[in-house]
Structure 1
Amino acid sequence: MPDEVRELAGVPVLVCDPDGPLVATEQDALDLIGAAFLGAQVVAVPANRLPEGFFSLGTRFAGDVMQKFVNYRLRLAVIGDISERLARSPALRALVHESNRADHVWFLPDLDALDARLRAAS
């Protein structure tokens, strides 16, 4: 399945293919942002498409990627089970907790949770 724009809760979402390439650089993130400009307001990236460095906050990669989405006024949803990573990192747990309380970057288990979150936000 290629990346595709779908509507969830009436919001256009670029749903990224779980088998697609890693989002391993800031340019990769910018490429997703560019693809979203075809009409999406949210980009849903499977957690398995993010390198381990994204979840290791010392690399600052997560912050750089998240800031790019905020700068372009797009929401980012990281979709998938990251519980093992959360168990290993209090800093990541704090980031996820704070992100999920805000409106621009969410960490959610699946697309159904994203749909529910978008419904609640409207």
Structure 2
Amino acid sequence: MTIQSHEINTIKIAEIISDTIIIQSAQDGLDLMGDIYYQGFDKVILYEKNMTPEFFDLKTKMMGEILQKFSNYRIGLAIVGDFSKYESKSMKDFIFESNRMRHVSFVASVEDALKNFSQ
């Protein structure tokens, strides 16, 4: 895992780059958030491919637990991926509401994530 640093208007953004799954449990998400926070980053960009498929199963509550922690600690999060494959109404509604609230966003590209963080 490597961290690509971006900065927009003094906001430090960590883009997490990895060839493997780095979020396999809620604890992994919390550990990553803590690591990023203590390195002085304000926002995080993660890739869908680096998260276990269970993360995107709302029944596991993993997504909710992790995203709630990011929200509580006011660390912005963007998840980059192709979310059109998630066909459940619940997941589509969750993504829509998250994007509307803007603290956690589901985007198609790093450029979209950076754009969201700059607003």
Per the normalisation by structure 2, the TM-score is 0.89
Instruction: Summarize deviations over 1:13-47 as a string: whole Å, max 9, x none.
Output: 11011414320112211221122221211111100
Counterpart of 2:113 in 1: which secondary structure?
Answer: helix
For structure 1, the residue ranges without an aligned partner over 5 or more in a row are none
Q: Indicate the residue corresponding to 1:23 in structure 2.
A: 23
Structure 1 pair 9/90, CA: closer, same or farther in 2 (3 Å)? farther
* Pair 1:94-2:93 in alignment: yes
* CA RMSD across the alignment: 1.7
Matches within 5 A, 1:1-122: 2-8=2-8, 10-37=10-37, 38-85=39-86, 88-119=87-118, 121=119
Shift of 1:93: 0.3
Task: Report the TM-score when normalising by structure 1.
Answer: 0.87
Residue identity in the other structure for 2:14: L
Unaligned runs of 5+ in 2: none
Checking the alignment, whether the CA contact within 8 Å between 1:2 and 1:20 is kept in structure 2 is no
**How far apart are residue 9 of structure 1 and its match?**
5.8
SS of the residue corresponding to residue 19 of structure 1 reads coil
Contact 1:18 1:48 in 2 (8 A): no
Which amino acid is the alignment partner of residue 52 of structure 1? P
The alpha-carbon deviation at position 59 of structure 1 amounts to 1.0
For 2:89, the aligned partner's letter is P
Residue 3 of structure 1: SS of its match in structure 2? Answer: strand
Q: Does the Cα contact within 8 Å between 1:76 and 1:106 map onto a contact in 2? A: yes
